[in-house]
Structure formats: structure tokens, C-alpha cells
Structure 1
Amino acid sequence: MAEFVRIYEENPNPREIDRVVAVLKRGGLIIYPTDTVYGLGCDINNIKALERVAQIKGIKLEKANFSFICHDLSHLSDYVKQIDTATFKILKRALPGAYTFILPGSSTLPHPFKKKKTVGIRIPDNTIALEIVKKLGNPIISTSIHDEDEVIEYTTDPELILEKWDNLVDLVIDGGYGDNEASTVIDLSGDEPEILREGKGSLEIF
């Protein structure tokens, strides 16, 4: 049975944030709100937890394209190769926001991601998600829980999410109704920015 925690985005209760972080630190999986759809996540440094997420998604961990949820751009150098000024300016303009940016991965990536040439970075415009990552002290991985085929209600209503995921995860955060539009995915790892998926994030950042 998953814990069900109500957290308000305007003013997240530090005690509730601590409760979520404790679950992550012991290798638990959480479902949490972002500025787009609800996400399934775990501590980026916990291999067992990462393997559980990959298993739920039906993929091998080393093949998984999870996004890293960071608190701000200061964490980037741990996961991303040196980026040029133009790229940094785009990130500064767009984040926090409803974007996933594909960037060249650094050699210091956590073990399961070592062979990855690129990583997806997210800094969502959602106080709950940002406070969790800040308190944890490192990113969490994220994969959205929406159905690829269609957007259905259980991906936006926390109580329905709990019903569906109760036996698969350790904690579900009720942060209010989620959005049902995914993030805009932009690949900044090549010479020119490439839009891989148009979602909630506006393309007027260029």
C-alpha cells in the first residue's frame, strides 16, 4: 500500500517534503506532480530503485531514457558536458519550465547511465518537485505516467493515480490535478536545436 500525501504547491509543508525524501532515501518510488503530467521517480543514485522503475516501464535500465529532475542549473555540470554560452542562454530563458532538454552527458554520470551520450534534463516549474530535489540533495529520475496512446483521467487525478499505482510505488503525492500535456522536448546536443516533441513549453524561447 502506497502512502498518500497531500502537499500544496503554493506553500509545501517542509514536514511532508521530509517524508517524501525519507521514502526516496530508502529506495522508494514516488509519483509526484510537475508542471506537466504527474511523474514516476526515484533517487538517481539508488540502483535498486532505478531498476524497479525500468521494470515497471518494461525496459532494460541501460536503455531507459529517463529525465533527470534538477533543482536548478548549478547541478548541471555533474551530469552534462561543458555547454556553450548560446545553449546556456536558452536554458536560462526556458527554465524552470515545461521543457525537457537533451544535452550531452558527462563522464561522471551515475553508473547505470555511464554509456549514455545524452541526458534529458528537466527543471519543472513546480514548487513541490523542486523542493523534493533540493532537500534530497541530488536529482530524481522522472518518467511520465501518462498513457502514450491517449490522455486518460487517471493520469491527472491523484486519487485515481493512487488506485492504479497503489501496489507499484511507495508514495503518491496529491498536489492537485495534474496537467495532461507533456513537456516540450528539445535536443540541444547537436549543432542546431532540434524540437523532438512539441508539448506544453512554448517554442518562443529561441
Structure 2
Amino acid sequence: MSERLSVHPINPQARLVEKAAGILRAGGLALLPTDAGYSLVWTLNGKEAEERVQRLRELDSRHPFTLLCRQLSEAGRLARLDDPAFRLMRSLTPGPCTFILPASADLPKRIKNSGRSKRRDIGIRLPDHVVARTLLEAMGEPLLSTSLVLPDDPHPTSHEAEGVAERWLRWADVMLDAEDCEPGPTSIVDCTGDQPVVVRQGFHPVAL
């Protein structure tokens, strides 16, 4: 049975965050509030959880998922950050922005080899939400994530906790319910070329 854990949005209870972390470590799938709506999250080794997401959202194995990281140093182990990308990320994080970056040699093998060819880039976020950051600290590692978009619902509302629980909790193992959060989507900045390029402006637009 799925669990809905009500946590304080500013001072989340450590025991509830740790309970969610334990479910994730056991291979579970969690609903997590972020600074751009709720997201589904799972561990880097959570292959079965990822397959559940793929079936639910009708995604193939080539679909890229985003990595949620605690800090820039962690992102720098998973992606190659040149000086312009580092400075840009430092100025815009934490915040509701996804950065597409060249993958590093240290990207976990399961992630690097997903799909029909090896991953050459990766999406990374450093969320600015206390509950999300607290869970990442409890895990001590990045989490894979995806937005709450079903095939029959192209314009979802993913920031209202009650609606998220009603529509999504049946498919997740746990929800950290921190009430409503900021709407999404994130802005997306592609840092794989000579110059960073905004490829999507989110709910909070960015200027380079």
C-alpha cells in the first residue's frame, strides 16, 4: 500500500524523510515536491522503479531522465563542467532550471548505457525546495526524476498536493506531501555547445 507522509514544507520531520529514503533504497518509487511541481523519483540503481515509470508514462528506453543533485560538486562528478557552464550553474542554482551537460566518465554504467547507444549528455537539476534537498541529503546520492505527465493528460497540474495524491499516489510507493509547491516546468539550458542556449523557458524564466 502506498504511503502519504505529511511533512512540514520548511522544517520536514527527519523521521518521515528517512522513512521515504528507506523506501527508495529498497527500490521504491516516490513522489517528491520540488521547486517546479511534484516529481517521481527513484535511485540510480532502481531499475524496476524506472521500468514502472516507463510503462506508466509509455516511454521507451531512450527517454532521458533528469538527475537531481545536492550540490555543484556532485553534478561535476556526473557531467563535464567547463568554466562557462560552472559559472552559469553557480548563478542559477539551486533553482527550477535543468541543465543539459556532457556526461562524464563517472556517470553510472546503467545510466550511461540506457537506450540504443551510450549517453553523451545528461540533464541535471539542483532543486530549491527544502523537502527535496533534505531527501537528497538523507540519500547521500543523486536521484533520477521525471515530471508527472500521463499520455492522456498533456497539460497536467503537478504542483497541487491533493490533485497529485489523487492521480498519482496509486502508482508510487510513497509521497512526501509538503502541501502545494511552485508550478513547473523548469527552464532548460543546453550547455553541450559552444555557448549555453535556453531551449525552454519555464515558469520562472532565465536570462543568460
Is the TM-score greater than 0.5? yes
Report whether the alignment pairs 1:47 with 2:47.
Answer: yes
CA separation in 1, counterparts of 2:170 and 2:7? 21
How far does residue 60 in structure 1 lie from its aligned partner after superposition?
Answer: 2.6
How far does residue 65 in structure 1 lie from its aligned partner after superposition?
Answer: 1.3
Match of residue 86 from structure 1:
84
How many residues are aligned here? 201
Unaligned runs of 5+ in 2: 113-117
CA contact (8 A) 1:183 1:199 kept: yes
What CA RMSD, in Å, does the superposition of the two structures yield over aligned residues?
Answer: 1.6
CA contact (8 A) 1:97 1:201 kept: no
TM-score, length of structure 1 as denominator length: 0.91
Match of residue 21 from structure 1:
21
CA contact (8 A) 1:33 1:128 kept: yes
CA contact (8 A) 1:102 1:119 kept: yes
CA contact (8 A) 1:151 1:180 kept: no
CA separation in 1, counterparts of 2:72 and 2:45? 19
How far does residue 146 in structure 1 lie from its aligned partner after superposition?
Answer: 4.3
State how 1:1-206 maps to structure 2 within 5 Å: 1-61=1-61, 63-81=62-80, 83-114=81-112, 115-146=118-149, 149-152=154-157, 155-204=158-207, 206=208
How far does residue 172 in structure 1 lie from its aligned partner after superposition?
Answer: 1.3
Q: Secondary structure at the match of 1:12?
A: coil
How far does residue 7 in structure 1 lie from its aligned partner after superposition?
Answer: 1.2
Moved over 3 A (4+): none
CA separation in 2, counterparts of 1:164 and 1:110? 32
Which amino acid in the other structure matches residue 200 of structure 1? F
Q: Secondary structure at the match of 2:199?
A: strand
How far does residue 200 in structure 1 lie from its aligned partner after superposition?
Answer: 2.6
**Deviation sequence 1:44-100 (CA, Å, 0-9, x none):** 222222222222221233x1211100011111233112x221210100000000100
Q: Secondary structure at the match of 1:167?
A: helix
How far does residue 193 in structure 1 lie from its aligned partner after superposition?
Answer: 1.1
CA contact (8 A) 2:36 2:159 kept: no
Which amino acid in the other structure matches residue 185 of structure 1? I
Q: Secondary structure at the match of 1:162?
A: helix
CA separation in 2, counterparts of 1:97 and 1:13? 22
**Deviation sequence 1:101-132 (CA, Å, 0-9, x none):** 00001122223321111100000110111111
Going from structure 1 to structure 2, the CA distance change for 1:181 and 1:167 (only over 3 Å counts) comes to: closer
CA separation in 1, counterparts of 2:57 and 2:103? 22
Which amino acid in the other structure matches residue 154 of structure 2? D
> Percentage identity across aligned positions?
29
**Deviation sequence 1:142-174 (CA, Å, 0-9, x none):** 11114663244xx23222222222331101121
Which amino acid in the other structure matches residue 145 of structure 2? S
Q: Secondary structure at the match of 1:65?
A: coil
How far does residue 10 in structure 1 lie from its aligned partner after superposition?
Answer: 1.1
Unaligned runs of 5+ in 1: none
Q: Secondary structure at the match of 1:143?
A: strand
